[in-house]
């Protein structure tokens, strides 16, 4: 049984209310941080904990905080990125729905560490219930004296505001989020300057994921070193994984870093194995933008070692035979699923969500979608696969923000690992409209993967 830090009391009735949360030891971190620690101490603890950003990129949170420019007389802001919209990821929504106070507590501690007196929680517009829940939680915390002027008599002031977004995936990119928060069109900004220097309203700003902010609570409570004991290597602590797809028990699970992928899928404690006794075909390990891996590669690395749920192990082999931790959207496909259709579906999403600012992403995502539509609907040509490969190659790395990369990677990985399924679609257009390729050799042990 793995340790739970964020979801420890998730099953306690009424944990979404202030009274129950407080009774279960909530807001201890605020008391400890504000009364007995300086802001630098908190940053130091977060650095020691080795906490890495839970939003996708995995950048060390402590380091991000220490980059924050601190000019005199200029306000600093903490912005919580609750614009969770990656297909396959729903952990932040879960956290905000069931234990909103964990986020509020984390916000207070983090804002204190950064010296911010106004903080924002930017939540995607579609998540209206969560916006209401967070607003209610802020009111409760305020009534109890944990927010507002002179918190707990320590002289620290903090206001937290909830800002509903317009429902765009691109607003999860930090600079687009800031633009949107300022009331403008959510186009990513061109970096540099980075938000740590000039972010919201031109002031130094830190943008963190919901889960990263909530994870500062156990770090402050137990100390960074204690937190770093969980997990292996540079992947420390626990991580929320949103498991979905053809598994027996989809849902949000808190895992200790370093759990083997095989155990995560097949153990009854977590996903409980494949649904309906089907066989595993492929897994997208970290939300739609990370490379999809066939069954044999997701369970074992190319070196033959078991793959673990850590930033390093999942990325083992680079993009040739590895994937990425991403935001923890774990999507499992069984043998009945069609990879071509799935790739088309993802690309359709990225085409719809591209902001249209820079040309490779704006035009390229639409082009890829049309080619994939053609292949999926039985009109494909063998040269389309190469064309698709070249188009994705030209998008990747040439765009302003990572959305271009996020659109290109799933296509690249699908062609790299499932090329014969694409070919089968093209050669058997009629059969591909009725059935699908099936498991084929994707679960065979140690199939040499060609590039």
Q: Which residues bind another protein (CB under 8 A)?
A: 168, 170, 185, 190, 351-360, 362-367, 370, 387, 394, 397-400
CB 358 within 8 A of CB 399: yes
The β-bridge relationship of strands 156-164 and 118-123 is: parallel
Rank residues 14 and 167 by Cβ distance to another protein and give the closer one.
167
For residue 384, the minimal CB distance to another protein (Å) is 9
Give min distance, CB of 392 to another protein, in A.
Answer: 11
Could you tell me the smallest distance in angstroms from the CB atom of residue 347 to another protein?
12
Pair 59, 53: CB distance under 8 Å: yes
Q: Which candidate, 275, 305, 307, places its Cα nearest to that of 293?
A: 307
* Token digits of residue 40: 């630098």
Question: Nearest approach, Cβ of 182 to another protein (angstroms)?
Answer: 14
Find the helix or strand (DSSP H, E) in which 159 lies. strand 156-164
Name which of 294 and 410 has its Cβ closer to another protein.
410
The minimum distance between CB 414 and another protein, in angstroms, equals 20
CA dist 309 and 307 (Å) reads 7
Cβ-based nearer residue to another protein, 250 or 364: 364
Tokens of 84: 């969770």
For another protein, the closer of residues 129 and 202 by Cβ is: 202
In terms of DSSP bridges, do strands 235-236 and 251-256 run parallel, antiparallel, or are they unpaired? unpaired
Closest C-alpha among 311, 12, 420, 361 to residue 170: 361
Structural tokens at position 33: 């941080």
**CA 414 from chain center: how many Å?**
20
CB of 354 to another protein, least distance (A): 4
Supply the DSSP symbol for 292. Answer: E
Output the smallest distance, CB 407 to another protein, in A: 11
CB of 398 to another protein, least distance (A): 6
Nearer to another protein, 37 or 408 (CB): 408
- C-beta closer to another protein: residue 82 or 404: 404
Cβ nearer to another protein, comparing 35 with 352: 352
Q: What pairs with residue 276 in β-bridges?
A: none
Nearer to another protein, 323 or 357 (CB): 357
Which of these, 379, 393, 378, 370, lies nearest to 431 by C-alpha position?
378
What residues have CB less than 8 Å from 323, skipping those under 6 apart?
Answer: 284, 285, 286, 290, 291, 292, 293, 298, 314, 315, 413
């Amino acid at each position: 049984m793995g340790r739970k830090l964020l979801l420890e009391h998730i099953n306690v009735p009424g944990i979404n209310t202030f009274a129950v949360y407080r009774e279960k030891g909530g807001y201890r971190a605020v008391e400890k941080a504000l009364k007995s620690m300086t802001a630098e101490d908190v940053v130091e603890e977060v650095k020691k904990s080795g906490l890495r950003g839970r939003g996708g990129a995995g950048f060390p949170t402590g380091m991000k905080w220490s980059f924050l420019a601190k000019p005199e007389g200029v306000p600093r802001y903490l912005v919580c990125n609750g614009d969770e919209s990656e297909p396959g990821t729903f952990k932040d929504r879960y956290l905000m729905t069931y234990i909103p106070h964990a986020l509020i507590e984390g916000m207070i501690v983090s804002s204190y560490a950064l010296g911010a007196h106004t903080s924002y929680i930017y939540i995607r517009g579609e998540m209206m219930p969560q916006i209401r829940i967070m607003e209610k939680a802020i009111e409760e915390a305020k009534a109890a004296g944990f927010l507002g002027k002179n918190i707990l008599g320590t002289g620290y002031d903090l206001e937290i505001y909830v800002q509903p977004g317009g429902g765009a995936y691109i607003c999860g990119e930090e600079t687009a989020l800031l633009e949107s928060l300022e009331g403008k069109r959510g186009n990513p900004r061109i970096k540099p300057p980075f938000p740590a220097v000039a972010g919201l309203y031109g002031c130094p700003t830190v943008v963190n994921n919901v889960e990263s902010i909530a994870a500062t609570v156990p770090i402050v409570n137990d100390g960074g070193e204690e937190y770093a004991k969980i997990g292996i290597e540079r992947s420390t602590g626990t991580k929320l994984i949103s498991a979905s797809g053809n598994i027996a028990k989809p849902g949000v699970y808190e895992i200790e870093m370093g759990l083997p992928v095989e155990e995560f899928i097949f153990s009854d404690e977590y996903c409980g194995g494949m649904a309906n006794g089907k066989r595993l075909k492929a897994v997208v390990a970290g939300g739609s933008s990370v490379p999809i891996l066939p069954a044999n590669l997701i369970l074992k690395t190319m070196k033959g070692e078991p793959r673990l749920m850590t930033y390093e192990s999942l990325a083992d082999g680079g993009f040739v035979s590895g994937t990425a931790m991403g935001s923890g959207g774990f999507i499992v496909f069984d043998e009945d699923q069609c990879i071509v259709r799935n790739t088309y579906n993802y690309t359709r999403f990225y085409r719809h969500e591209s902001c249209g600012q820079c040309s490779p992403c704006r035009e390229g995502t639409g082009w890829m979608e049309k080619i994939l539509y053609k292949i999926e609907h039985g009109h494909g040509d063998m040269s389309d696969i190469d064309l698709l490969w070249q188009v994705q190659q030209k998008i990747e790395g040439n765009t302003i923000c990572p959305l271009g990369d996020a659109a290109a990677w799933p296509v690249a990985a699908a062609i790299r690992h499932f090329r014969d399924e694409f070919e089968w679609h093209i050669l058997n257009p009629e059969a591909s409209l009725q059935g699908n390729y099936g498991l084929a050799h994707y679960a065979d042990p140690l199939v040499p993967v060609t590039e």
